[in-house]
């Protein structure tokens, strides 16, 4: 590990440069298959009853849920509950009057319970993005998690039980799942053939990780026009027109134990000129994460290829270093470009 205080454009905060080998990484090979498994068992983009969420764990990789499929435990509807109660009432045993009254009250209460249909639609937008529209009338101002090819990030419905999110596709046959903690959920599919023209990398974490992707396009240095990061993200139009890459930040910090993701996309199939893009990850040392181990994941999808997932565990220095940044080199593969 070396300490650099003369990075171009660096602020007063120190940048601690960490080359490969100074942090632990491991390949994740299991959970990005959730898309394939879910497609095999789900026939249409309809409402999907979700399994109950697993108890939270400390480490991000161990918290990844099992693939969400139609085999999940179904939530009984009002009609099935009523049928069960009526069937029980036809037994030949003599019922006491108070039991009959209680039964009738139960039937009436179940019949009045609203049926909650959670739906999600997926519409393809520029730069291989997908607009997700979630509607959950029985989950007003409720948190949910979006799942796609191993990528996970938090969302929240509004006062009408609705949410709109722009998410990056990581597969041309894209399947998205919205899962609520209450056991409700929905899925939607979209065909995104334009993904074959883009390189895409994802950095995701849970809680107070304070991670950032930095992309240095065509030899750019900190603060220059080709430096794409959270404070200079560009937009999808730049990539759609082939002008350069853009960064998309995902995740709603209002929810409990939020999941965040940053996604960098470059139009490699329509690159304006040959060259390279240097990619790095920075982690800010904060009062919330100092003297602890933080975990994250990277996902890389190169022009529609299978997603490559790497788990990252980082030992954050002592709290005296709050305000400094760790620069993780060689975690993401640099992009080599040919003119489109």
Q: Is 125 within 8 Å of 246 (Cβ atoms)? A: no
Report strand pairing: 119-125 vs 24-28: unpaired
Q: Provide the 10 A C-beta neighbour count for residue 205.
A: 23
Pairing label, strands 15-18, 325-328: parallel
The pLDDT confidence band at residue 78, using thresholds 50, 70 and 90, is very low
Residue 23 confidence (pLDDT) above 60: no
pLDDT score recorded for residue 21: 35
pLDDT one-digit tens code per residue, 261-291: 999 999 988 887 888 999 999 999 999 889 9
pLDDT in tens, 130-150: 999 999 999 999 999 999 999
Q: Per-residue pLDDT averaged across 252-269, rounded?
A: 94
Q: What is the mean pLDDT of residues 309-337?
A: 88
Pairing outcome for strands 173-180 and 259-266: unpaired
Q: Does 110 have pLDDT greater than 50?
A: no
Least confident window among 69-73, 208-212, 266-270: 69-73
Please answer whether residues 207 and 286 qualify as being in contact, where contact means their C-beta atoms are separated by less than 8 angstroms.
no
Q: What whole-number distance in Å separates Cα of residue 148 and Cα of residue 187?
A: 10
Closest C-alpha to 211, from 277, 145, 261? 261
Q: What is the pLDDT, as a whole number, of residue 95?
A: 54
Tens of pLDDT, residue by residue over 112-123, are 555 678 999 999
Pairing of strands 246-250, 275-284: unpaired
Output the average pLDDT for the chain: 76
pLDDT band at 70 (very low <50, low <70, confident <90, very high): very low
Percent of the chain whose pLDDT exceeds 70 = 65
Does pLDDT of 48 surpass 50? no
- Given a cut of 70, whether residue 35 has pLDDT beyond it is no
Can you tell me the mean pLDDT for 16-25? 48
């Amino acid at each position: 590990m070396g300490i650099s205080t003369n990075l171009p454009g660096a602020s007063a905060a120190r940048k601690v440069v960490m080359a490969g080998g100074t942090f632990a990484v491991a390949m994740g090979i299991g959970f990005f298959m959730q898309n394939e498994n879910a497609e095999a068992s789900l026939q249409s983009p309809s409402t999907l009853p979700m399994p109950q969420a697993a108890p939270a764990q400390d480490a991000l990789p161990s918290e990844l849920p099992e693939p969400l499929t139609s085999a999940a435990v179904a939530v009984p509807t009002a009609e099935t509950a009523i049928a069960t109660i009526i069937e029980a009432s036809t037994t030949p045993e003599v019922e006491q009057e108070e039991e009959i009254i209680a039964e009738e009250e139960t039937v009436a209460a179940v019949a009045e319970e609203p049926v909650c249909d959670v739906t999600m639609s997926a519409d393809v937008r520029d730069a291989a993005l997908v607009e997700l529209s979630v509607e959950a009338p029985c989950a007003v101002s409720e948190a949910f998690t979006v799942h796609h090819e191993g990528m996970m990030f938090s969302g929240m419905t509004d006062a009408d039980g609705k949410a709109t999110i722009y998410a990056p596709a990581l597969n041309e046959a894209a399947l998205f799942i919205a899962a609520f903690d209450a056991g409700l959920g929905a899925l939607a599919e979209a065909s995104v053939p334009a993904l074959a023209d883009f390189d895409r990398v994802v950095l995701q974490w849970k809680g107070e990780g304070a991670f950032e992707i930095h992309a240095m396009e065509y030899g750019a240095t900190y603060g220059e026009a080709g430096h794409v990061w959270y404070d200079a993200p560009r937009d999808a139009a730049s990539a759609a027109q082939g002008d350069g890459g853009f960064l998309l930040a995902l995740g709603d910090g209002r929810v409990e134990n939020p999941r965040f993701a940053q996604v960098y996309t470059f139009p490699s199939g329509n690159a304006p000129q040959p060259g390279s893009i240097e990619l790095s990850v920075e982690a800010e040392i904060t009062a919330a994460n100092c003297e602890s181990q933080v975990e994250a994941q990277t996902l890389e999808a190169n022009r529609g290829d299978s997603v490559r997932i790497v788990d990252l565990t980082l030992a954050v220095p002592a709290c005296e270093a709050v305000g400094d940044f760790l620069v993780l080199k060689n975690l993401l593969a640099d992009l080599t470009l040919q003119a489109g």
